[in-house]
């Protein structure tokens, strides 16, 4: 399964940014027909949870190509930012972006969210955008992101949930999961809420079509 995920993101490297940012006519059509949500708008909601003057340790997993986050991270000059992704192809694009923009307080790493190479309670904030619908072992991903977060720390992110929009479920099950871009099993919105509450003292969960985003305090 991990090789399938790696292969899928190697194949999508040249279109990944276009899909998330809807910068091409075909990506706008795809998003509107199958998803009816705006990833850029959701990312802005998440960024609003993290102040620009944040001065702690932040983990971004999976960081992807940093196409939605690099502008935010350029503003966070006092933070120590660690960006981790399983796909070397995503990281290669991210490295090119950072080299061009220049963010000296950001470190890129290859790694597995199911076995994070960090000690307990290392980070003040963990951000996970569009990751949990990809992670093969979601139970481990929830446990590991909670493990490395400090007490009182913020966990925020977004991902796909099943059962909210038929067109989204169709394209996920018939195309995206088969190609390796998404990995079953997928949770419902209620299941996500229950899981988050088992790890965090405060959970705010929001939904739009087949996407949820959340703000949790450990």
Question: Residue 215: what are its φ and ψ, rounded to 5°?
Answer: -135, 115
pLDDT at 124 exceeding the cut of 70: yes
CA distance 150 to 195: 18
Q: What is the pLDDT of residues 60-108, one digit of tens each?
A: 999 999 999 999 999 999 999 999 999 998 999 999 999 988 899 999 9
* Residue 191 exposure: Cα atoms within 13 Å on the Cβ side: 14
Prediction pTM value: 0.92
Across the chain, mean pLDDT equals: 91
């Amino acid at each position: 399964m991990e090789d399938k995920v790696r292969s899928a993101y190697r194949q999508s490297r040249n279109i990944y940014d276009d899909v998330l940012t809807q910068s091409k006519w075909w990506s706008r059509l795809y998003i509107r027909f199958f998803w009816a949500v705006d990833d850029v708008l959701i990312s802005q909601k998440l960024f609003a949870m993290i102040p620009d003057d944040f001065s702690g340790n932040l983990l971004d997993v999976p960081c992807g190509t940093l196409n939605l986050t690099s502008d935010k991270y350029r503003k966070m000059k006092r933070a120590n930012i660690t960006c981790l992704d399983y796909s070397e192809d995503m990281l290669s694009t991210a490295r090119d972006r950072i080299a061009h923009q220049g963010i000296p307080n950001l470190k890129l790493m290859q790694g597995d969210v199911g076995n994070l190479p960090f000690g307990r309670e290392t980070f003040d904030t963990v951000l996970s955008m569009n990751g949990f619908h990809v992670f093969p072992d979601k139970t481990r991903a929830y446990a590991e992101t909670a493990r490395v977060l400090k007490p009182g720390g913020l966990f925020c992110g977004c991902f796909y949930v099943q059962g909210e929009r038929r067109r989204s479920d169709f394209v996920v099950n018939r195309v995206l999961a088969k190609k390796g871009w998404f990995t079953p099993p997928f949770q419902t919105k209620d299941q996500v809420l229950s899981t988050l509450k088992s790890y965090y003292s405060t959970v705010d969960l929001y939904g739009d079509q087949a996407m949820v985003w959340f703000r949790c305090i450990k």
